[in-house]
Amino acid sequence: MASPAAPTVSVIHLLGHLLVRLVAAWPASIPMPAVLVVLDLPLLRHPPRWRTADERQQRLQIVVATAQQVLATVTPVVATRSDSERAPLHVLVQAIRKVIADETATDTTGRITERPSDDKGTYRCQSAVDLQASFRKHEGSVATFGVNAVISTTARRIRACVALTGSTPDSETPTAVVRQLQAAQVPLPPYLIMDQAAGPGPKRAQIDVLSDGQTQMVALIPASGGSDPRRFNLADFQFNRTQTSCTCPNGVVSTRVYAHGSNDGVFFRFLARQCRDCLFWAQCRDPDANPKGHRTVFISTSHAYLRAADAFNHSELGQQLLKARWRVEPTIAWLVRYHGCRQARRVGLVAAQFQLYQACAVRNLLMWLSRRKRQAHS
């Protein structure tokens, strides 16, 4: 769902607009600090165009320094006020602080620069109007600034709908659905069917733990073993139940096991002498791999979920459930085409969630009326 607010074009504009909003939101019951009174609001709202990199740097230095001065003065004032007075100001103060932390860096000389794109926060504030929207990029389409709308549906009705910030990955959406159903105190579904984004073992484990074993993820297992599908992947190796030995496709056994640094799995190591003259060398190792190097196989703590999922996906029930995933597509198409769910009408996650609730309620009502009509004519 695209946000009705447009993202700002630069950090300079974003901080300026946030400062203007902070002044506008300041309640009359609180004396306004002098640092806010002397702000040049027109200049912050419409900064002059810079023609050189030096002019841009100077403007960035001024705006960030001004914002930091405002934070230092306003934060203790806001902290002493009542909840009703503090709430709107606290949101803007936190947004200003986040933008400075995510988008800028200060060296030892006090020079302020913008952080490189790969060194910024995972969720980045991009609009002074819609603080909760973020960019979402689908392959083959332009990035959309807004909300990631999530629905969970059966053949008869939509059971859950959640509005998340746009940058939320699809792999995180099943947990949001389960949490919404739990909050509504309704029975959890025995199966949640999704695309390959929910296929990794950790995501399956999350749903199993969160639902207390009531819900099972049904999704295709992502391919592993690198980008070359001709090479062996994890499914080609066999592990004993205690995960103390690993057998390769050629029947060679390794008992050299090492704990992963983050404690979410173990490594098995095959030495070069174990792999020498192996008939499957080209299928097992990268063409540029060191012939004297060892071969490592990683097994995560959630590997048992992948094994169980692979068996379930090949069962008759698993095949039927995987084929039923198409049912969500007509529902999404209806919400987009006939209820305007490609565009949010108001800013913020709360407004987007309310809009999504309305659209899904109408869809469920129409489905119910259609069933009643068919039953009357049968």
Q: Higher pLDDT residue, 140 or 377?
A: 377
Q: Which residues neighbour 297 within 8 Å (Cβ) at sequence distance 6 or greater?
A: 234, 237, 246, 248, 254, 267, 268, 269, 270
Of all residues in the chain, the percent with pLDDT exceeding 70 is 96
Torsion on CA atoms 295, 222, 177, 132, rounded to nearest 10: 80
Phi, psi of 239 (to 5 degrees): -125, 145
Q: Average pLDDT in the 243-261 region?
A: 88
pLDDT at 292: 86
Q: Would you say the pTM of this structure is higher than 0.75?
A: yes
pLDDT at 229: 67
Alpha-carbon span 332 to 325, nearest angstrom? 12
Alpha-carbon span 89 to 111, nearest angstrom? 28
Q: Average pLDDT in the 249-272 region?
A: 86
* 300 beta partners: 265
Q: Average pLDDT in the 365-369 region?
A: 95
Residue type (1 letter), 255? T
Where are the domains positioned within the chain?
11-119, 134-218+310-377, 234-300
HEC profile for the chain? CECCCCCCCCHHHHHHHHHHHHHHHCCCCCCCCHHHHCCCHHHHHCCCCCCCHHHHHHHHHHHHHHHHHHHHHHHHHHHCCCHHHHHHHHHHHHHHHHHHHHHEEECCCCCEEECCHHHCCCCCCCCCCCCCCEEECCCCCCCEEEEEEEEEECCCCEEEEEEEECCCCHHHHHHHHHHHHHHCCCCCCCEEECCHHHCCHHHHHHHHHHCCCCCEEECCCCCCCCCCCCCCCHHHCEECCCCCCEECCCCCEECCEEECCCCCEEEEEECHHHHCCCCCHHHHCCCCCCCCCCEEEEEECCHHHHHHHHHHHCCHHHHHHHHHHHHHHHHHHHHHHHHCCCECCCCCHHHHHHHHHHHHHHHHHHHHHHHHHHHHHC
Sorting pLDDT into bands at 50, 70 and 90, what band is 360? very high
Q: 33-54, pLDDT tens digit by residue?
A: 999 999 999 999 999 889 999 9
Sorting pLDDT into bands at 50, 70 and 90, what band is 239? confident
Phi, psi of 254 (to 5 degrees): -120, 135
For helices 11-25 and 83-103, what crossing angle results, to 10°?
170
Alpha-carbon span 5 to 166, nearest angstrom? 13
CB atoms within 10 A of CB 62: 14
Does residue 225 have a pLDDT over 70? no
Q: Average pLDDT in the 155-175 region?
A: 93
Mean pLDDT over each residue of the chain, to the nearest integer:
90
Q: 71-121, pLDDT tens digit by residue?
A: 999 999 998 888 888 888 999 999 999 999 989 988 888 899 888 766 555
Q: Assess contact for 147 and 344: CB atoms under 8 A.
A: yes
Can you say how many angstroms the Cα of residue 358 is from the centroid of all Cα atoms in its chain? 24
Alpha-carbon span 246 to 252, nearest angstrom? 8
